Amino acid sequence: MTFPAEGLSAKVRDKTFSDLKAYRVLLFLPRNFNLSTHTGEPMETLNYARMDSPIGPLNVAVSDKGLVTLAFDRAPFPPDKTLYRWEKSNEKTALYSDELRQYFAGQRREFTFPLDLRGTPFQLQCWRALLAIPYGETRTYADIARAVRKPQAFRAVGMANNRNPIAIVVPCHRVIASDGTLCGYGGGLDVKRKLLELEGALSGSLAA
């Protein structure tokens, strides 16, 4: 999972430790940093597990509210620096893993589990627009920019997609370039093509 950090220093400089939890998605601290000694509150616990899939291993992390992370196994997980306490639990991630397996088996088109999306207001807008793309369909970056009412912000939309912490479920793989080509994807173009093929969304230049 990648956490955005740009523009943080100026905001955090004047913040007290009691404000830092509002920036948990944007701010890294050493794993052994004890937030409770500075705020009087316990660190939030995230449960995580690793699952196999047809596109490679995936890392799943959940809070009490829902899915926080679904990440390709491309970097150490959980991250070394974080504001969270991490606990491995196949049991608490089972609901999420089960529905993902059904999706990969072609038995599920929509996920029913809750999401706990964490990001900036603009990122959340973009990610919610991604969630509105139906299974089997694609949209362009320009389409998403118009959906969030910022029609000239297609580059910023691309950056928000790149920061998406919940791959597949928040379907940034359904976003393509305006010329109809696949364009980039954090999991790699081969994975993007496989996901779109699974969903029956490959057509024209995409299928070439």
**Annotated catalytic sites, by residue?**
172
Pairing of strands 67-72, 85-88: unpaired
How many whole angstroms separate alpha carbon 48 and alpha carbon 61?
A: 4
Asked if 206 and 180 touch (Cβ cutoff 8 Å), the reply is: yes
How many whole angstroms separate alpha carbon 2 and alpha carbon 96?
A: 20
Reported as half-sphere exposure (CB side, CA atoms, 13 A), residue 162 has a value of 9
The count of residues in the chain is 208
Helices (H) and strands (E) in the chain, counts: 7, 6
For 63-193, list the strands marked E by DSSP. Answer: 67-72, 85-88, 139-140, 175-176
